Amino acid sequence: MIAASARIHPLSVVEDGAVIGENVVVGPFCHVGPNVVLGDEVELLTHVVVAGRTTIGRGTRIFPSAVIGGDPQSIHHGGEDTTLTVGERNTIREGVTMNTGTAGGGGKTVVGDDNLFLAYSHIAHDCILGNNIILSNNVMLAGHVTVEDRAILGGGSAVHQFARVGRHAFVGGLSAVAYDVIPYGMLNGNPGILGGINVVGMSRSGMDKATIHRVRRAFKEIFEGEASIRNNAAAIREDYADCVPVMHILDFIAADSDRALSSPNRGKA
């Protein structure tokens, strides 16, 4: 089904079965597969491939040579009917690749709203991404990675499969993220070392100085305390029950995960 207001260049292919919303623009030399849904006001500039069982949300713009909804790059994928869902108002720059999920990983890859994916960044199968995230050029997310709201990953950084990157975290360029990065954390290097709190990002988000100071104090108590990181985190929970950002960190640490935690000292904990 193609909305009457959609504009599809005659040199593009939109296969039967695709759903094309209102005011969609499909530029020249694009290919839209039969199980694709393009929401209202989506724009494919040129030489864009949208394949698989993929849904693209309203107002998302996709730049040349991006391949969205390709099969997962997994030896365990046997052609199962899995999905990719991309939210609204995303900007997907040149050469970006996003894969559908795998049957063994839940069957879906999910991307939220208002994200910016710079050239040649890669989102592998079964990743779950939130909102207002920035992946800089050549960022690589392995399978089953979770990236929370407003995280920023610098150019050329790579995230190990099953790792989590918390909200408002900052990962420096060329960093290797082998272990979970706490919310508001700042990680750099290879192997990645947790260097402290992303104060600049927190300030830019509108967080007041008093709250930032409490987060920094909690960080020290968690990672410099005498007990283990998880025990230190549990011990301060009551003291910071009224501080939402600290509770984000404590809940993140307490949650089940397939990866260890990045730390300031050994790289993991």
> Which residues are catalytically annotated?
125-126, 143
Provide the phi-psi class of 41: left if phi over 0, else alpha when psi is between -120 and 50, else beta.
Answer: left
Tell me the C-alpha distance between 136 and 265, whole Å: 26
Tell me the C-alpha distance between 22 and 35, whole Å: 17
* 166, 252 Cβ separation under 8 angstroms: yes
Residues 6+ apart with CB under 8 A from 268: 178, 179, 191, 260, 261, 262
Torsion of CA 115, 118, 120, 125, to 10 degrees: -10
Structure tokens at 92: 């997907």
If you ran DSSP here, which 8-state letter would residue 240 be given?
A: G
Structure tokens at 150: 């407003």
Residue 126: half-sphere exposure toward Cβ, Cα within 13 Å: 19
What type of residue sits at position 236? I
β-strand partners of 109 = 84
Give the sheet arrangement for strand 146-147, strand by strand: 19-20, 37-38, 53-56, 83-86, 108-111, 128-129, 146-147, 164-165
